[in-house]
């Protein structure tokens, strides 16, 4: 997720902007830059890597002025490089942007046809061109921005300045955050509150579809069509540490609540409903009808995503899938040929075992590709020359226990399954449209699950002293039982075991007594009745039962001690919903027990040793 800071006032802008960017450093980024306007001229400084690299550039070549914008970039379109770093300038218009412009290929082509040339590979530069096309005709900046916004589709938080109108900054937002900070004779803009806390406590959060014109004297908010909007100013008393976490107690909690937007970002720009096609930018899988087998290699939570992915890809695209723990894969002398695809799943893109697995697979002649969250990471680079990379757009994940990276991986795998199904002819257009429509419902459905947090806290209170937990699920929810148990173990240090509900009678049933809480997933679908019978076996032995079921299930309360309801969806999408209560139960149990939720003992976010 990119960071944005802007300043207009009477002091030197650069220091304020760079300090603001530094406060956003925790979000992660790959390059940074500032642009300052003075005496009708824009000066830009950019550097790849950490902010200290930009500091060095600014020390050697300082820039002065009282109007400026800055950016830390988390690459989406175009690799991390100085050229792709923001701000982007075209004919005196400078733009920074957070988000993804969905129709960028089309807009870029139109602009190329008008004779415009591009200096970067980013979607952001398009916006600078669109505004410049208008201002070059003599249109004022505000009108030019409105006209440009009317052409852009996607997620954005833009911050724009012009050397011809150095008395204002313009910002506009859709689906990416923007906050305006109010000062005296000076005003500020940022993507997030921590960037501005040192200067002001008075903020206004821009809403989707709104834009603002910020001058030294004041702020005018309107809709993108120019309808005036009254600013809802809030005084925030967060400490800097609280602000980094967006007011949440832990990063993990923040990231659980970011899932609806992270999932929307992962779907955005990839679905074409008219012909039910999935567009996989960055993938070059070649003729997928020649693939006769897929192997997924991953570790930890990403491995669990792979286990769900097997159900999705086999169910939708009818390709046989094996899922391997990456650390086991290369030591078992895997049988691989050119018709085998090997898919690595990794949040960080740096996990040593997963990297080693795909290197091995490549040597054996397989097409390797990845679902990954970090642009240009080692695994992403390894796959680029082969089958390519599909990025999850979860933004940086800071909590060691993976949450939003997992659900966005599931979304990416579902999209991949639909893509493969369409390309191999196993999925009809009408059915694909249905599946994609269901997928688009997920962000809003997760909001509904998150709104039940109070009930999940009550459950956590009841069971946080338990010594062991059992998690049960079947079919695509069996991996969610594994993931639920892993989440609890990781952050609360309570022993937990995930099992297939059907397999329980072959072992774990011996553990059940009144002291053992069991979390069972019994949502509607092909496994419902069988799972309920398995859970009845737990109840018959006095086990405590927390059941995750589907909204509208009135019978399940008779079996369970506690019920958590999730919205109904396609059985292959269901795991993306059922894992959310698992995350919150684990989080609140850990929090009640006072463990270090974001950095649990002995664990690392990314394990770069074998």
50, 220, 530, 605: the active-site residue: 605
Using CA atoms, how far apart are residues 463 and 374, in angstroms rounded to an integer? 36
User: Is 399 among the residues that bind ligand G6P (CB under 6 A)?
Assistant: no
Report which of 232, 236, 225 is spatially closest to residue 198, judged by C-alpha positions.
236
Q: In sequence order, what are the beta bridge partners of 470?
A: 497, 518
505: which 2 tokens?
């009678």
Using CA atoms, how far apart are residues 365 and 336, in angstroms rounded to an integer? 7
| Residue among 347 and 569 whose Cβ is closer to ligand G6P | 347
> Pick from 84, 162, 340, 348: which binds ligand G6P (CB under 6 A)?
348
> Pick from 35, 400, 481, 579: which binds ligand G6P (CB under 6 A)?
400
Closest distance to ligand G6P from the beta carbon of 509 (Å): 29
Instruction: Give whole-number Cα distances, 93 to 35, 132, 144, 145, 393, in Å.
Output: 10, 6, 11, 10, 28
Which window, 82-90, 195-203, 394-402, 567-575, contacts ligand G6P (CB under 6 A)?
Answer: 394-402
Using CA atoms, how far apart are residues 18 and 6, in angstroms rounded to an integer? 10
User: Is 377 among the residues that bind ligand G6P (CB under 6 A)?
Assistant: no
| Residue among 284 and 599 whose Cβ is closer to ligand G6P | 599
Closest distance to ligand G6P from the beta carbon of 326 (Å): 8
Q: In sequence order, what are the beta bridge partners of 41?
A: 38
- Which strand ranges, in their side-by-side order, compose the sheet holding 31-38? 41-48, 31-38, 67-73, 3-8, 187-190, 179-182, 202-205, 234-235
Beta-carbon contacts of 175 under 8 Å, excluding residues fewer than 6 positions away, are: 99, 154, 155, 156, 208, 261, 264, 265, 268
Using CA atoms, how far apart are residues 65 and 159, in angstroms rounded to an integer? 17
Closest distance to ligand G6P from the beta carbon of 130 (Å): 37
2, 299, 372, 383: the active-site residue: 2
User: Is 200 among the residues that bind ligand G6P (CB under 6 A)?
Assistant: no
Q: Are 128 and 118 in contact (CB under 8 A)?
A: no
Closest distance to ligand G6P from the beta carbon of 359 (Å): 14
User: Is 44 among the residues that bind ligand G6P (CB under 6 A)?
Assistant: no
| Residue among 430 and 609 whose Cβ is closer to ligand G6P | 609
> Pick from 229, 242, 455, 607: which binds ligand G6P (CB under 6 A)?
607
Which window, 251-259, 266-274, 340-348, 505-513, contacts ligand G6P (CB under 6 A)?
Answer: 340-348
User: Is 592 among the residues that bind ligand G6P (CB under 6 A)?
Assistant: no
Question: How many residues lie near ligand G6P (CB under 6 A)?
Answer: 16
User: Is 132 among the residues that bind ligand G6P (CB under 6 A)?
Assistant: no
Closest distance to ligand G6P from the beta carbon of 498 (Å): 14
User: Is 351 among the residues that bind ligand G6P (CB under 6 A)?
Assistant: yes
Q: Is 330 helix (H, G, I), strand (E, B) or coil?
A: helix
Closest distance to ligand G6P from the beta carbon of 230 (Å): 44
Closest distance to ligand G6P from the beta carbon of 372 (Å): 8
Q: Are 550 and 523 in contact (CB under 8 A)?
A: yes
Q: What is the DSSP letter of 30?
A: S
Residue window 293-312: x/- pattern of binding to ligand G6P, with contact defined by CB under 6 A: ------xxxx----------
User: Is 603 among the residues that bind ligand G6P (CB under 6 A)?
Assistant: yes
Report which of 537, 570, 531, 565 is spatially closest to residue 551, judged by C-alpha positions.
565
61: which 2 tokens?
């070549």
372: which 2 tokens?
């990954």
Give catalytic status of residue 605 as yes or no: yes
C-alpha dihedral (574, 579, 580, 582), degrees to nearest 10: 140
| Residue among 135 and 392 whose Cβ is closer to ligand G6P | 392
Which window, 94-102, 158-166, 194-202, 601-609, contacts ligand G6P (CB under 6 A)?
Answer: 601-609
| Residue among 326 and 418 whose Cβ is closer to ligand G6P | 326
User: In 252-396, where do the E strands start and end?
Assistant: 271-272, 277-278, 293-298, 321-325, 340-346, 367-372, 388-391
Closest distance to ligand G6P from the beta carbon of 475 (Å): 22
User: Is 354 among the residues that bind ligand G6P (CB under 6 A)?
Assistant: yes
Closest distance to ligand G6P from the beta carbon of 368 (Å): 15
User: Is 470 among the residues that bind ligand G6P (CB under 6 A)?
Assistant: no
Give catalytic status of residue 299 as yes or no: no
User: Is 66 among the residues that bind ligand G6P (CB under 6 A)?
Assistant: no
User: In 244-387, where do the E strands start and end?
Assistant: 271-272, 277-278, 293-298, 321-325, 340-346, 367-372
Please count the other Cβ atoms lying within 10 Å of the Cβ belonging to residue 231: 19
| Residue among 160 and 482 whose Cβ is closer to ligand G6P | 482
For ligand G6P, the nearest residue by Cβ is 300
| Residue among 401 and 582 whose Cβ is closer to ligand G6P | 401
Q: In sequence order, what are the beta bridge partners of 472?
A: 499, 520
> Pick from 346, 386, 408, 578: which binds ligand G6P (CB under 6 A)?
346
Beta-carbon contacts of 300 under 8 Å, excluding residues fewer than 6 positions away, are: 351, 402, 486
| Binding footprint of ligand G6P on the chain (CB under 6 A) | 299-302, 346-348, 351, 354, 400-402, 603, 605-607
Active site residues: 2, 605
């Amino acid at each position: 997720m990119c960071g944005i800071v802007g300043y207009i006032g009477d002091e030197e802008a650069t220091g304020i902007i760079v300090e603001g960017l530094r406060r956003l450093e925790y979000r992660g980024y790959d390059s940074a830059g500032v642009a300052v306007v003075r005496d009708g001229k824009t000066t830009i400084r950019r550097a790849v890597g950490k902010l200290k690299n930009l500091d060095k550039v600014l020390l050697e070549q300082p820039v002065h002025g009282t109007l400026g914008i800055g950016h830390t970039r988390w690459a989406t379109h175009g690799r991390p490089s100085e050229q792709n770093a923001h701000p982007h300038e075209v004919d005196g218009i400078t733009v920074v942007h957070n988000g993804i412009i969905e129709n960028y290929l089309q807009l870029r082509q139109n602009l190329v046809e008008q004779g415009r040339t591009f200096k970067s590979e980013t979607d952001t530069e398009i916006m600078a061109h669109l505004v410049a096309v208008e201002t070059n005709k003599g249109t004022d900046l505000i009108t030019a921005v409105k006209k440009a916004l009317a052409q852009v589709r996607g997620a954005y938080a833009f911050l724009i300045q012009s050397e011809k109108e150095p008395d204002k900054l313009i910002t506009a937002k859709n689906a990416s955050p923007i906050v305006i900070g109010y000062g005296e004779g000076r005003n500020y803009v940022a993507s997030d509150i921590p960037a501005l806390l040192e200067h002001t406590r008075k903020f206004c959060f821009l809403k989707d579809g709104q834009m603002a014109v910020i001058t030294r004297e004041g702020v005018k908010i309107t809709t993108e069509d120019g309808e005036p909007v009254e600013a809802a100013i809030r005084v925030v008393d967060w400490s800097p540490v609280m602000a980094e976490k967006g007011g949440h107690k832990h990063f993990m909690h923040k990231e659980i609540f970011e899932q609806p937007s992270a999932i929307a970002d992962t779907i955005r720009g990839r679905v074409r409903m008219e012909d039910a096609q999935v567009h996989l930018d960055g993938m070059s899988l070649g003729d997928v009808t020649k693939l006769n087998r897929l192997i997924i290699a991953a570790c930890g939570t990403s491995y669990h995503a792979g286990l769900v992915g097997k159900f999705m890809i086999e169910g939708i695209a009818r390709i046989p899938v094996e899922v391997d723990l990456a650390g086991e894969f290369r030591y078992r002398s895997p049988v691989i040929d050119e018709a085998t695809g090997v898919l690595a799943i990794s949040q960080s893109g740096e996990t040593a075992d997963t990297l080693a697995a795909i290197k091995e697979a490549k040597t054996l002649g397989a097409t390797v590709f990845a679902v990954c969250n970090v642009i240009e990471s080692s695994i992403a680079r390894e796959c680029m020359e082969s089958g390519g990379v599909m990025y999850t757009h979860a933004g940086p994940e800071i909590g060691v226990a993976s949450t939003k990276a997992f659900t966005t991986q599931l979304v990416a795998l579902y999209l991949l399954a639909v893509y493969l199904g369409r390309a191999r002819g196993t999925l009809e257009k009408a059915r694909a449209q249905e599946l994609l429509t269901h997928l688009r419902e997920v962000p809003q459905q997760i909001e509904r699950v998150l709104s039940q947090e109070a009930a999940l806290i009550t459950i956590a209170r009841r069971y946080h002293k338990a010594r062991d937990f059992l998690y049960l699920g079947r079919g695509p929810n069996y991996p969610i039982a594994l993931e639920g148990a892993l989440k609890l173990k990781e952050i609360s240090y309570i022993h937990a075991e995930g099992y297939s509900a059907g397999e329980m009678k072959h072992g774990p049933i011996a553990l059940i007594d009144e002291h053992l809480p069991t979390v069972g997933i019994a949502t509607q679908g092909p496994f419902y009745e069988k799972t309920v019978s398995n859970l009845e076996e737990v109840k018959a032995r006095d086990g405590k039962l927390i059941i995750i079921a589907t909204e509208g299930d009135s019978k399940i309360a008779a079996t369970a001690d506690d019920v958590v309801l999730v919205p109904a969806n396609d059985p292959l999408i269901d795991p993306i919903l059922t894992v959310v209560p698992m995350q919150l139960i684990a989080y609140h149990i850990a929090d009640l027990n006072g463990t270090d939720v974001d950095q649990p003992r002995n664990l690392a976010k990314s394990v770069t040793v074998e």
